[in-house]
Amino acid sequence: MTHPSQISDALVHDSEGGLPRLLEIMAQLRDPETGCPWDLVQTFATIAPYTIEEAYEVADAIERQAWAELQGELGDLLLQVVYHAQIGAEAGHFDFHSVTRGVADKMVARHPHVFGDESRDKSADQQTVDWERIKAAERAAKAETGVLDGVAPGLPALLRALKLQKRAARVGFDWPSTTEVLDKVVEEARELVEAKDSLTQDEVAEEMGDLLFVMANLARHLQVDPEAALRAANAKFIRRFASIEAALAKGGRRPEDSTLAEMDALWNAAKAAEKAAKG
């Protein structure tokens, strides 16, 4: 007779074991007697930052079109789901199967034009409207009656600002055009500059928050993903600063050995070279 532990061990080492193999690996990592000491002390809260990080690494691989890396990053993100599901199962809250059942039920309910008797003869925009209508009904069933209810507080601040603004816009609370948003950007920036010497640090932070919130709104009106735009700006800054370091290194120097004027000139040279390369 084959012992259950032998079956489990065989599955762990079966390279074709698929999702059951991953679930078994996680169960063994969290086994109170034989598991990994590090894994055993983890909680929802301690794992959450890794979950966010892995999601961003997926987005980064897509942004760079690094398809070979994307496979691994998706695996890392899937591991996060498995990890949370295992902790949930141990606490009696839910398990991986209830997680997958829940999201599958949700997809079926939200796509009656695919899985039900509604017509598929609708545009993508109409489907977006219908999707939001169904989500609103789901929120109402959860007693989330406020327009902004259910926008997760744990989202990155810029992304949450965008989601809050989209929700408010659906009920008509929105600037009529980009012009008004730009005017508000100028107003908030002027207020911050004019008042920075007379405000407390907390008040300066509040004004800065107002400006960032309006900038997120401007991105929405321009149909730009602010998170993606900022990631691209970060990458561009890193690329151009690396050019400054490389140029200085040719003379045996580092940035701290240079002047701001010299580094600024090298920055402009890197910028010009990038524009020339784009044609």
Confirm whether 217 is domain-assigned: yes
Confirm whether 247 is domain-assigned: yes
Regarding pTM above 0.85, the answer is no
Query: Which stretches within 122-259 are classed as H helix?
Result: 124-141, 157-170, 178-195, 201-221, 226-249
pLDDT tens column, 112-130:
888 988 777 777 777 777 7
List the structure tokens of 80: 């996060």
User: Domain boundary at 109, 133, 163, which?
Assistant: 109
Same domain, 101 and 80: yes
Q: What is the residue range of 94's domain?
A: 4-109
Confirm whether 75 is domain-assigned: yes
Same domain, 236 and 183: no
* Side-chain-side CA neighbours of residue 212 (13 Å): 14
Taking the C-alpha atoms of residue 168 and residue 271, their distance in angstroms, rounded to an integer, is: 39
Confirm whether 270 is domain-assigned: yes
Same domain, 235 and 266: yes
Which of 136-145, 158-167, 169-178 shows the lowest mean pLDDT across its residues? 136-145
Same domain, 217 and 255: no
Q: What is the percent of the chain with per-residue pLDDT over 90, rounded to a whole number?
A: 63
User: Domain boundary at 109, 127, 162, which?
Assistant: 109
Q: What is the pLDDT of residue 127?
A: 74
> What is the separation of C-alpha 97 from the centre of its chain, rounded to a whole number of angstroms?
25
Which of 73-77, 109-113, 122-126, 168-172 shows the lowest mean pLDDT across its residues? 122-126
Q: What is the pLDDT of residue 137?
A: 72
Computed over every residue of the chain, the mean pLDDT equals 89
Confirm whether 122 is domain-assigned: no
Confirm whether 125 is domain-assigned: no
Q: How does residue 50 score in pLDDT terms, banded at 50, 70 and 90?
A: very high
Taking the C-alpha atoms of residue 234 and residue 23, their distance in angstroms, rounded to an integer, is: 36
Report whether 82 contacts 26 (CB < 8 A).
yes
Q: What is the pLDDT of residue 1?
A: 45
Same domain, 203 and 241: no
User: Domain boundary at 85, 109, 133, which?
Assistant: 109
pLDDT tens column, 12-33:
999 999 999 999 999 999 999 9
Report whether 106 contacts 134 (CB < 8 A).
no
Same domain, 41 and 97: yes
Q: What is the pLDDT of residue 70?
A: 97
Q: What is the CATH number of the domain that holds 63?
A: 1.10.287.1080
Same domain, 234 and 196: no
Q: Which residues 6+ apart lie within 8 Å of 152 measured at CB?
A: 160
Same domain, 158 and 255: no
List the structure tokens of 23: 């679930």
The domain tally of the chain equals 3
List the structure tokens of 233: 């700006």
Confirm whether 119 is domain-assigned: no
**Three-state DSSP string of 94-105:** CCHHHHHHHHHH
| Of 192, 194, 185, 189, residue with least CA distance to 215 | 185
Same domain, 93 and 34: yes
Q: Which residues 6+ apart lie within 8 Å of 9 measured at CB?
A: none
Confirm whether 255 is domain-assigned: yes
Same domain, 150 and 97: no
Same domain, 273 and 235: yes
Same domain, 104 and 9: yes
